[in-house]
Structure 1
Amino acid sequence: MLLLVALTLYKGSVLYRAQSYERNLRFLLVVLGNEARFWAYLCLLAALSLLTSNVVLGLALRLALALPLLLALLDIGIFLNFSQRLTLADLYTFSFKLNLGYTYAVLKTLVRQLGIWSYCYLMLVLGFVVLLVWLLLYPVVANYALAAWLCGAALLLGVVSASIAARTSVTAATASVAPATTPPPVAYTHSAAINVIDLLRSGLSKNRPYSHAFAQALLARYSEPPAICVQGLGVNPPPNLILIILESFSMCHSKHLSGIFNFTPNLDMLMRENVVFTNFYANGGTSTDALVALLGGTVPLPSPRYAREPTLDIFDHFDETLPRLMGRHGYQTLFMTAADVAAFGVGAWASTIGFASVQARADLQHDQSRAQGFSTATDETLYQNAILHLQRLQPPYLMVLETGSSHEPFIDPDSMRASEGLCMRYADRKIYEFIRYLEATNFFANGMVMIVSDHRRRGAVLPEEYARYGAAAPFQIPLIIIDGKKHPRTVTAPYQQTDLLPSWRYMLETSPINLSPLQGILLPEPIHSANAILSRNVFDIYDSVNVVQHGMVQRVRLAGDATRFEDPRVALPGVIDMINYQRLRYLR
């Protein structure tokens, strides 16, 4: 019961910040109703454990009761820190695919610097330990009266859940097709926060395999849509590029872009002085998704073989990558990340896709005492080390910097307080200091800096965001291009992370370049937008892909052979074939 109350209260605080007070009261009821199914299941398990005097069977049923409670406890910790829910695939990733040191760093982050919620969470952990000891040591004795009472409680919870959840499922809570001006539905804030059961159930269809017959038929008949051919510019001398992937940088953080928060005054100043894209999209919702899109030029569609994919080991056989392209044109290529090199295999993956040098947290010269959550170095440390490398690099060069200080749970490196505003202002201040250093050293005489977010912040979409960006709000992000020309411009045409690779091909190569319908060119001038933009959904329904086309956001449900648009009125079979083909390409 303590777990239920704590989870509900915290969700209420999140929803209160995201919606009006009246809606918040309704959401509290919705949350209680949806998760009552979970507690009904636990009541039934407890009742079963009271129907036997057999020690082995009784202990087995008690352990079966303790395991869901443990998962609920982990779910609360993840939601407290990262505004997302626990999935079984996350358990697999952090328990088996990553090294133990990195997993420990993540777990340590879960209860750090969160004020009263840290203490509440630690009390819940202690309560679970006490309960587990009691379940293991208390004599196994049948108690039919208590079992009957628990069955009645389960029935009551089931009735309450059915009456509420039937009207507030994840599918009903989110608009499947909406123009950019559509306000948020009353039932929508962050569907994963409302209903984790439907969320997990929906994730199963994403992992549904394609049948052999379907895959063979599609691969036999499918042909790439007609390409658009453009003549490469062959820019000479080739410009140096510093690509800064700024963790969780969102439209709502910028007063200049959204008018919501004023967390990034220095970046706002850079936007006013340079080129800013106000209709730019992330192709996924994680940092690894961003690496696949930005450096591999590929939409990180979920693999049908594993529920939490794509991880970087799936996307390591690209036709072309940004470092390979630039390496062929004489560039030195360097990838620097504030994270542990073992995190999701980033270090090995960066080398595989063509980076000549890879630097991670262990390679950086920094104060170990200021390492942050997820065992990342601070942005200040990353930029200081970047400056050391810039003093040695010979042009032309590509330097990719992946920051980490502004990752949720937003621990400000200076004060070590959990504050999104303080954390983003820190990231804003340090990146501005780095840009001013580049200006002072004449980098922009033949150099360019591209500042792009990896993905939007994980928190609930704000009403002000929906009013401005519509259904695209969860995956719309900023892009700033600084080339030293001081010709300020705002680009409103739609572009995406995967457009960086074809744009640099257009810049560097002299031969004709064929663009697919999913590719655009934004350098040196925005000349062509993709016909359709795809973004993997990780916010509400894991088995879906958002499609931006003609100013509309449409949702495709991934279900193997039955992959389809969520709204049956949408008739774009070419898009479905394209998504199925792209997913099948990465099956091994």
Structure 2
Amino acid sequence: MTSIPFITLSKKLLFNARLPLLFFCIGLIAYKFYLLEINSRAILGCDWCLVRKAIFFELQFLFLLGILHFVAGFSRWYWLRFSLRLSVIAILLIMAIDLIVLQQFLVRFTWHEFLKFVSEFSAIMDFSRQLIVSFWSALIAAMVISIILWVLGRYLILDNATTRSPVFLAFVAFGLFGTEYLKPTEFHGPYLQNSIEAFFSSQTRHRPYSDDFANKILAEPEEESRCYEGVGARPDLILLIVESLSMYHSKLFSGLRDWTPQFDSVSQNGRWFSNFYANAINTEQGLVALLTGEPAIARGTGNASTPLFEQFQSSKHTVPHLLNDLDYYTAFLTTGNLGFLGKGDWLKKIGFNLIEGHDAAYYDGMKRFHFDAAPDQALYDRALIELQTHHRKKPVFLTLETVSTHHPFIDPESAAQSEELVFRYADRALGVFVENLKSIGFFDNGYLMIVSDHRAMVPASQDEMVRFGDRAYARIPFSIIGYGLNNEEVVDPFSQIDLLPSLHHWLSQDRHCVNANQGIFLPKTKHQPACIFTRRSYALDDVFIHCGDEDYIIRLDGDRSHYVGAKPPHDLLGSIHRLRLGKDSSH
């Protein structure tokens, strides 16, 4: 007799198209709660503190689905029933994608991100394949996807009218609007939002300035600047951008994990910066900051859908343009796909003489990983060839961008998905590269600069938060090694955007000027920035500004951009307006 309820439930699952859909929805919500819980324990050190607050957001999500489902049943028109059920399916798929993006990158899936990446289907599929590391994981993934498609397909073709009364529909509608007043408003709101709220959330950072406001800002006098005479050095230079290299990976830089002993040893043989910041939260922004000298804050003019690279491609004030004018040979080498987000075209427009990506002949026949990239060791070997074959009439500036340590952290040697293993691999490859540079005499008149594009896209641990506070999300390592440098720790704060003015000061003999928020740290510390502009993946509309020990937040909102919380004693909001309008006082 006890088996009868089980048999009844089994029949409902097999023959009822609605019940499996309900279980699928509840499963997605449960997984959302799981993600919130593991992150709240790791970051906030508390149990259930985010899940309790997220309940009302997800209840509203359920009520929304209920409204669409029951209205579809009430309708006499087939096309309307079909459209509403299709909307239910679309909402559930948005939630599924949102949870994958949240779990992998700690950001939400939004309409703007959909428009940004919809044309990068091959890169998305390539990334998805990296998550399937074995035959069994592929089999399980195929089974799960097949079951989901079966559930969604059966629901879509269901054409039975509901017998629910209008009173029940009114109750669901009341729940939909009533939960709006029960949802808490707090700092972690972007993560608590249900997937539909997040997808259609207002992206205030994309609101443009009005013409009158922009003209007013552009008419204001230039910021005060300080000017210096250039040093006029002409060393060979390598800028090594290590994907996702973070403070917590290094014992030297954080005292936490010891995954990069080679990098730590190399850094101690040069100058290492223990208070360095990324102005970026992804590779795209990191390259803009490092190579244009501007924090990658979206311009306040034009179309919100304009890709970031296109917004920073017209300036002649870039690292490669500067070095070309100083008669350097400039090259950018990566094993990644330069077609992703238009990176290759952008690199050409900002001035590099040579640009190579995954399709370079040197990588033919090599095993590929995410972004069609060969392992880091292949990039380093290709760089050595370029250095040795380069004609010596000009000094060289070589930019190397690694890929192996990109999320989802697939170790090229073992094929295991492990952040520790892949960073240990990258560290060993870096150590071999440095030894090879020594063997060809590069450091006789050359310097290697090692920096990250951004902090890894994973939650900050409680240990990180204790050590660095919320700035943990922006802190990254930076070091430079070469002739005359030996174990000098630089504790002064600098950031990625300071590389351009620093190179200008070091390599040019001209008089040059910087504003208060630009720094010069090459060949020695010359000018500290008053404030550093950083970003956070959990608050994409905000700019986080660090001025000494003080922190400030500016919410980007076109003409109505404003401070969130404390206001600084000086006009940082005006600085943000000038940056977003391309009014740079450095020259």
Q: Does the alignment reach a TM-score above 0.5? A: yes
Contact 1:289–1:310 (Cα < 8 Å) also in 2: no
Given the alignment, which residue of 110, 117, 126 partners 2:146? 126
Contact 2:286–2:453 (Cα < 8 Å) also in 1: yes
- Match in the other structure for 2:555: 557
Provide the rounded CA distance (Å) in 2 between the counterparts of 1:115 and 1:583: 49
- Match in the other structure for 1:528: 527
Given the alignment, which residue of 371, 381, 387 partners 2:384? 387
Partner secondary structure for residue 405 of structure 1:
coil
- Match in the other structure for 1:268: 264
- Match in the other structure for 1:2: 27
* One-letter amino acid matched to 2:64: Y
Q: 1:291 to 1:193 in 2, by over 3 A?
A: farther
Provide the rounded CA distance (Å) in 1 between the counterparts of 2:425 and 2:61: 40
Provide the rounded CA distance (Å) in 1 between the counterparts of 2:195 and 2:548: 32
Q: 1:31 to 1:127 in 2, by over 3 A?
A: farther
Partner secondary structure for residue 135 of structure 1:
helix
Provide the rounded CA distance (Å) in 2 between the counterparts of 1:372 and 1:447: 31
Provide the rounded CA distance (Å) in 2 between the counterparts of 1:526 and 1:118: 52
Q: 1:510 to 1:208 in 2, by over 3 A?
A: same
Partner secondary structure for residue 251 of structure 2:
coil
**Alignment coverage as a number of residue pairs:** 555
* One-letter amino acid matched to 2:31: A
Equivalent residue runs for 1:561-580 within 5 Å: 561-567=559-565, 569-572=566-569, 574-580=571-577
Partner secondary structure for residue 399 of structure 1:
strand
Q: 1:387 to 1:195 in 2, by over 3 A?
A: farther
- Match in the other structure for 2:545: 547
Equivalent residue runs for 1:139-538 within 5 Å: 139-145=159-165, 152=171, 162-163=181-182, 165-167=183-185, 169=186, 172-173=187-188, 192=191, 203-220=202-219, 222-235=220-233, 238-304=234-300, 305=302, 311-366=308-363, 368=365, 370-395=367-392, 396-537=395-536
- How far apart are residue 581 of structure 1 and its match? 2.0
Contact 1:242–1:399 (Cα < 8 Å) also in 2: yes
Q: CA offsets per residue over residues 156-184 of structure 1, 9 Å max, x none?
A: 57666753x315x3xx349xxxxxxxxxx
- How far apart are residue 466 of structure 1 and its match? 1.8
Partner secondary structure for residue 391 of structure 1:
helix
- How far apart are residue 132 of structure 1 and its match? 2.4
The alignment status of 1:92 with 2:89, answered yes or no, reads no
Partner secondary structure for residue 330 of structure 1:
coil
Provide the rounded CA distance (Å) in 2 between the counterparts of 1:105 and 1:249: 22
- How far apart are residue 118 of structure 1 and its match? 7.6
The alignment status of 1:63 with 2:62, answered yes or no, reads no
- How far apart are residue 19 of structure 1 and its match? 4.4
- How far apart are residue 194 of structure 1 and its match? 6.9
Equivalent residue runs for 1:64-83 within 5 Å: 64-83=87-106
Equivalent residue runs for 1:24-35 within 5 Å: 24-35=47-58
Partner secondary structure for residue 228 of structure 1:
strand
Contact 1:70–1:128 (Cα < 8 Å) also in 2: no
The alignment status of 1:13 with 2:38, answered yes or no, reads yes
Provide the rounded CA distance (Å) in 2 between the counterparts of 1:503 and 1:443: 21
Partner secondary structure for residue 275 of structure 2:
strand
- Match in the other structure for 1:177: none
Q: 1:328 to 1:83 in 2, by over 3 A?
A: same
Provide the rounded CA distance (Å) in 2 between the counterparts of 1:87 and 1:429: 38
- How far apart are residue 293 of structure 1 and its match? 1.1
- How far apart are residue 201 of structure 1 and its match? 6.4
Contact 1:230–1:513 (Cα < 8 Å) also in 2: yes
Contact 1:255–1:268 (Cα < 8 Å) also in 2: yes
Contact 1:341–1:360 (Cα < 8 Å) also in 2: yes
Partner secondary structure for residue 422 of structure 2:
helix
- Match in the other structure for 1:186: none
Provide the rounded CA distance (Å) in 2 between the counterparts of 1:202 and 1:461: 25
Q: 1:372 to 1:46 in 2, by over 3 A?
A: same
Q: CA offsets per residue over residues 264-321 of structure 1, 9 Å max, x none?
A: 1111112222211011111111111111111111121123445576521111012411
Q: 1:532 to 1:497 in 2, by over 3 A?
A: same
Q: CA offsets per residue over residues 560-586 of structure 1, 9 Å max, x none?
A: 11101101x414562111211221239
Q: CA offsets per residue over residues 200-242 of structure 1, 9 Å max, x none?
A: 566521112212221222222x22211101111112xx10001
Provide the rounded CA distance (Å) in 2 between the counterparts of 1:7 and 1:114: 25
Provide the rounded CA distance (Å) in 2 between the counterparts of 1:256 and 1:203: 41
Partner secondary structure for residue 585 of structure 1:
coil
Provide the rounded CA distance (Å) in 2 between the counterparts of 1:214 and 1:467: 41
- Residue identity over aligned pairs, in percent, reads 28
- Match in the other structure for 1:187: none
Partner secondary structure for residue 506 of structure 1:
helix
Given the alignment, which residue of 111, 123, 128 partners 1:102? 123
Provide the rounded CA distance (Å) in 2 between the counterparts of 1:295 and 1:407: 20
Q: Which moved more, 1:507-516 or 1:354-363?
A: 507-516
Partner secondary structure for residue 529 of structure 1:
coil
- Match in the other structure for 1:182: none
Q: 1:270 to 1:581 in 2, by over 3 A?
A: same
Structure label with greater radius of gyration: 2
Contact 2:40–2:48 (Cα < 8 Å) also in 1: no
Any gaps of 5 or more consecutive residues in structure 1?
175-190
Q: 1:233 to 1:112 in 2, by over 3 A?
A: same
Q: CA offsets per residue over residues 109-165 of structure 1, 9 Å max, x none?
A: 4x43399998876565334312321123212423325x86576567557666753x3
Q: 1:328 to 1:411 in 2, by over 3 A?
A: same
Moved over 4 A (4+): 114-124, 147-162, 193-203, 305-310
Provide the rounded CA distance (Å) in 1 between the counterparts of 2:52 and 2:545: 32
- Match in the other structure for 2:16: none
- Match in the other structure for 2:63: 40
Any gaps of 5 or more consecutive residues in structure 2?
1-25
Provide the rounded CA distance (Å) in 1 between the counterparts of 2:255 and 2:470: 18
Q: CA offsets per residue over residues 345-379 of structure 1, 9 Å max, x none?
A: 11111111111110001115236562112322211
- Match in the other structure for 1:52: 75
Q: Which moved more, 1:194-203 or 1:485-494?
A: 194-203
Partner secondary structure for residue 509 of structure 2:
coil
Q: Which moved more, 1:544-553 or 1:298-307?
A: 298-307
Provide the rounded CA distance (Å) in 2 between the counterparts of 1:114 and 1:498: 41
Provide the rounded CA distance (Å) in 1 between the counterparts of 2:413 and 2:169: 50
Provide the rounded CA distance (Å) in 1 between the counterparts of 2:304 and 2:429: 36
> What's the C-alpha RMSD, in Å, of the aligned pairs?
2.6
Q: 1:431 to 1:371 in 2, by over 3 A?
A: same
Partner secondary structure for residue 559 of structure 2:
helix
